[in-house]
């Protein structure tokens, strides 16, 4: 019961509302409230404060999450490793949205005809890493730099290059550019490269597709990975490469817990994804 309450608090911290937490845990909103109330009673401290439609965490809740969260996720991951994956067990593949669109749509469409017990979720890389470490995802397919310390297998597939997109000719390196969230740990290395060449991040978007569309509309040049250029079928006339930005790449990795690979179904899905990326390149 204690672990159940901690799990609920961790999800609530991410989702911000009782209803979204309930949806993610497949329980009712009232069940979420009861779990948190039981956890508060057990610990003898207040953990949440209503704030309109949202839930605000107390300092005690933040301290608990900081101290217990990593260990809880590791325990959950270890339990996951002992799960027996039969032919109808759902295998969760957590992906970067751009990678699903750029590399996997066709391959997974075919794969799903052979194994329908596959669930695909999309998140940014830090969340994908957390989900694989905790066992909430069997496989992660992510873009960008991984954290320095992790306890899973990371299979590096490719280094994906970027292109500068704009609807007007670019003969010199632009001084300002639309980028994706540089506060995201997986993107943070881009900031140093841009700074070195005197390029100002004009806007930080949450979607490369949005960045590309703004650039094509003439708002400002945008830094966009090759997979998005391919997915959106952006004409070569609007794609530009500069030698100064050649070091700007984003690593593409498959990540999974070591014991997960022992499952023939997981192994086959991992190999299918790796083949799809190799073929696309």
CATH topology of domain 86-280: D-Maltodextrin-Binding Protein; domain 2 (3.40.190)
Q: Which two tokens stand for residue 275?
A: 């083949």
pLDDT at 67 over 80: yes
Q: Domain spans of the chain?
A: 2-81, 86-280
Q: What confidence tier does 2 reach under pLDDT thresholds 50, 70, 90? A: confident
The helix/strand/coil state of 8 is helix
Q: What confidence tier does 77 reach under pLDDT thresholds 50, 70, 90? A: low
34 exposed, middle or buried (CB, 10 Å; 0-12, 13-18, 19+)?
A: middle
Choice between 221 and 98, residue whose per-residue pLDDT is larger: 221
105-132 mean pLDDT: 86
How many CB atoms are closer than 10 A to CB 203? 15
pLDDT, residue 179, reads 93
Per the document, the length of the chain is 281
pLDDT, residue 81, reads 62
- Kindly tell me the number of DSSP H helices and DSSP E strands found in the chain: 11, 11
Pick the range with the lowest mean pLDDT from 98-112, 200-214, 222-236. 98-112
Global pTM exceeds 0.75: no
Choice between 262 and 243, residue whose per-residue pLDDT is larger: 243
Q: What confidence tier does 142 reach under pLDDT thresholds 50, 70, 90? A: very high
CATH topology of domain 2-81: Arc Repressor Mutant, subunit A (1.10.10)
The answer to whether 257 and 137 have CB atoms below 8 angstroms apart is: no
25 exposed, middle or buried (CB, 10 Å; 0-12, 13-18, 19+)?
A: middle
pLDDT tens for residues 12-55? 888 888 888 887 777 888 888 898 999 889 999 999 988 877 88
In what helix (H) or strand (E) does residue 215 lie, and over which residues does it extend? helix 208-216
Choice between 148 and 159, residue whose per-residue pLDDT is larger: 159
Please tell me the number of Cα atoms within 13 Å of 157 on its side-chain side: 26
Q: What's the rounded Cα separation, in Å, for the pair 32 and 19?
A: 8
Instruction: Report in angstroms the alpha-carbon separations of 217 from 101, 214, 222, 223.
Output: 22, 5, 11, 14
Q: Which two tokens stand for residue 190?
A: 């881009």
The answer to whether 147 and 185 have CB atoms below 8 angstroms apart is: yes
């Amino acid at each position: 019961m204690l672990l159940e309450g901690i799990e609920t608090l961790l999800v609530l911290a991410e989702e911000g509302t009782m209803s979204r937490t309930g949806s993610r845990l497949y329980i009712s909103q009232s069940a979420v409230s009861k779990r948190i109330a039981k956890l508060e009673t057990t610990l003898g401290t207040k953990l949440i404060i209503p704030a309109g439609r949202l839930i605000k965490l107390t300092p005690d809740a933040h301290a608990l999450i900081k101290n217990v969260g990593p260990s809880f996720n590791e325990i959950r991951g270890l339990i996951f490793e002992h799960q027996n994956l039969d032919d109808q067990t759902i295998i969760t593949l957590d992906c970067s949205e751009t990678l699903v669109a750029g590399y996997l749509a066709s391959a997974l469409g075919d794969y799903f005809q052979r194994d329908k017990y596959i669930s695909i979720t999309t998140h940014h890389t830090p969340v994908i890493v957390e989900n694989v470490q905790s066992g909430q995802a069997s496989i992660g397919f992510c873009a960008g730099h991984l954290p320095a310390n992790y306890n899973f297998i990371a299979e590096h597939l490719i280094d994906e290059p970027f292109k500068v997109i704009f609807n007007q000719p670019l003969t010199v390196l632009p001084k300002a550019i639309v980028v994706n969230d540089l506060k995201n740990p997986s993107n943070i290395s881009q900031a140093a490269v841009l700074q070195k060449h005197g390029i100002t991040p004009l806007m930080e978007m949450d979607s490369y597709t949005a960045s590309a569309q703004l650039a094509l509309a003439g708002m400002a040049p945008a830094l966009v990975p090759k997979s998005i250029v391919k997915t959106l079928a952006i004409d070569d006339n609007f794609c530009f490469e500069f030698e100064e930005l050649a070091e700007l790449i984003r690593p593409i990795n498959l990540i999974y817990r070591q014991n997960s690979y022992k499952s023939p179904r997981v192994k086959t899905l991992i190999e299918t994804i790796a083949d799809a990326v190799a073929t696309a390149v």
